[in-house]
Structure 1
């Protein structure tokens, strides 16, 4: 049987149904693309869905492929616009940008979410040793987790710290090899505590750092608090102190609210090294973010945002037993101290 006869033999009603599904999917892909470009993720489900924009690129390829298979070449070309536009939006995160030149001291910053304090403390210490971490930002720090970390050896390795432990997910803290002082000007009252410090690193001017943890928009009623937290995070100060935000932002670079923060004068360390599409969070099967045991793929919620004057040399990701986030480790070069 020839190809043309095969095509004619395809039931007409099934072809019409396939075309209807293809056109519907193409319209949905176009609407998602417009939402992402314009930053109008206005409702709770959309704010969650936009986290998965890198995966949406693949999904948006289905309509043009289907249209081509159904011998609708013009529709296929039109449907290609959405995946191409999405790909152009996320592609820069997959390529190193050449970075900024800085000639000051090196500083390795890591961020670790402790998952309600349940992450294995010895694994956190091993991670800090393996990557030679200078400053450690932790989220979801409890009193019990702080004690376990010290018992595992963190107290010896990091004599300087400012801790704001809390209940379940509400605590944060900063551990440092370098002297630090609490910087309350970086903090603000919210559901989760965020610990601000000023670091004294030899050879560099004082560096401000915030252990960052906005409230997660895990339900519609929490979206306002999440947006408020992101809006109140300290912006970059290109003509002032060098500033670093390190933590679980509960947002990806596809969220308009996070892009606004970055645009104030920060660089996302992972994106600067071409690793900006690496996912860092995936819920456990029993968590509220999973649906009847179905676990969504990883998304990049954890970030080290650095002042644009800071050079990002390398970024690594690791795993710690018991956690639902992957730690992010950024090797940085700070600007040299002003003479």
Structure 2
């Protein structure tokens, strides 16, 4: 009898531990640490993983109940309880994704300002494809990470509907970056922003230190219009974890006291589940407002926007802008998807 009770206690302890791990996966306490940072980024995979595990455990519970001897003490109760927890966890993960938006719409409201955000993966996306996407979307602001000024100028020449001014910032090389032998720069260090001429003149000013790869900050010369920031933080990979944590924190801090009219765009290498982006302070996610915040922007290898991580963002000053619609686009050559959002200006005082 004692041995039986010990086995039951051990079984309940193991089930409780698995249930605790599953529950902690919803809002883990250490989202900036190795493994956990990658795990929480892939919430859509957790939906599938916990659901499959829950169904498997439920199957075991039903089988044990069916094969139990007459008079057995609550057969399948432990495994059934664990299955219920795992399935609930899967539903919660799925609910969070759905709440952020899975409804892309390409329609742009009248008088909207359109932002296109894309990591070109070291300029592997043909400029002509970016030009086509930008023209189709009627983009006014184009933010391209891992993209040099030369690429930006070539793209501007392809955008025939309007003149665009090109701005570029280049970050310091990382220890894993490889510089071209011709004396150029690795595009991974560059962020390039194109701004349509009808938005007025902008001056490029120095951004905060420690923001990762190149950070472009543009302020309107006449003081009216958006403040545009293009950013690219370091990735959460071995050798860069410390830089990832610090650069993500620096970029996120731009929303603590944002410049009026701020539009912060880029590959932030973090999801809304990572600590720096959980609280956007005085910014809001334009993607979530537009109903596309739950769609994956990386990696394209999954073949669907329902699986992956949402790490490419457009964050806005909600006192100045309202996101009305948006979409996530696949362009050839990049492991990131392009994000397009259509913004309208809020009336003053709202």
TM normalised by structure 1 equals 0.76
Structure 1 residue 315, shift from structure 2 partner: 0.9
Gaps of 5+ in 2: 1-6, 62-75, 102-108, 171-184
Other-structure match for 1:54:
44
Asked if 1:75 is matched to 2:79, the reply is yes
2:125 to 102, 119, 122: 119
Q: In 2 relative to 1, CA 187–25 (structure 1 residues): closer, same or farther, beyond 3 Å?
A: farther
Find the aligned partners of 1:268 and 1:30 in 2 and give their Cα distance: 30
Kept after mapping to 1: 8 A contact 2:45/2:308: no
Q: Flag the 1:256–1:35 CA change in 2: closer, same or farther, 3 A.
A: farther
- Match among 162, 165, 175 for residue 160 of structure 1: 165
Alignment partners' CA distance in 2, 1:168 and 1:126: 22
Q: Structure 1, residues 245-280: CA drift from partner, whole Å, max 9, x if none? A: 1111111122122213x2x12222222233222111
1:323 aligns with 2:313: no
- 1:206-257 per-residue CA deviation (whole Å, 9 max, x = no partner) reads 32121011011121x2111011011111433678512121111111122122
Q: 1:277 aligns with which of 284, 294, 307?
A: 294
CA distance in 1, matches of 2:15, 2:44: 17
Once residues 160 and 166 of structure 2 are traced to their aligned partners in structure 1, the CA distance between those partners, rounded to angstroms, is 9
Provide closer, same or farther for how the CA distance between residues 35 and 68 of structure 1 changes in structure 2, counting only shifts above 3 A.
closer
Relative to structure 1, the CA distance from residue 23 to residue 278 in structure 2 (aligned partners, 3 Å threshold; closer, same or farther) is farther
DSSP-derived class of the 1:274 partner? coil
Whether contact under 8 Å (1:194, 1:212) holds in the other structure is yes
Residue equivalent to 2:240: 222
CA distance in 1, matches of 2:203, 2:90: 41
The 8 Å contact of residues 162 and 195 in structure 1, kept in 2 or not, is answered as: yes
Matches of 2:111 and 2:256, distance apart in 1: 20
Stretches of structure 1 lacking an aligned partner (at least 5 in a row): 1-15, 98-102, 286-296
Note the C-alpha offset of 1:174. 1.5
Distance 2:18 2:347 in 1: 50
The CA distance in 2 between the partners of 1:82 and 1:266, in whole Å, is 34
Are residues 117 and 96 of structure 1, via their aligned partners in 2, closer, same or farther at CA, if it must alter by over 3 Å? closer
Q: CA deviation at 1:118?
A: 2.0
5 Å-filtered alignment, 1:33-44, equals: 33-41=23-31, 43-44=33-34
Shift of 1:110: 1.1
Matched residue SS, 1:111: strand
Contact 1:94 1:274 (8 Å CA) reproduced: no
Flag the 1:63–1:118 CA change in 2: closer, same or farther, 3 A.
closer
TM-score (norm 2): 0.73
1:208 aligns with 2:232: no
Choose from 188, 205, 213 the match for 1:184.
205
From 276, 282, 297, give the equivalent of 1:257: 276
Equivalence for 2:267? 248
The match for 1:91 is 95
Change (3 A) 1:338 1:29: same
Partners of 1:36 and 1:96 lie apart in 2 by: 15
CA distance in structure 2 between the partners assigned to 1:279 and 1:254 by the alignment: 13
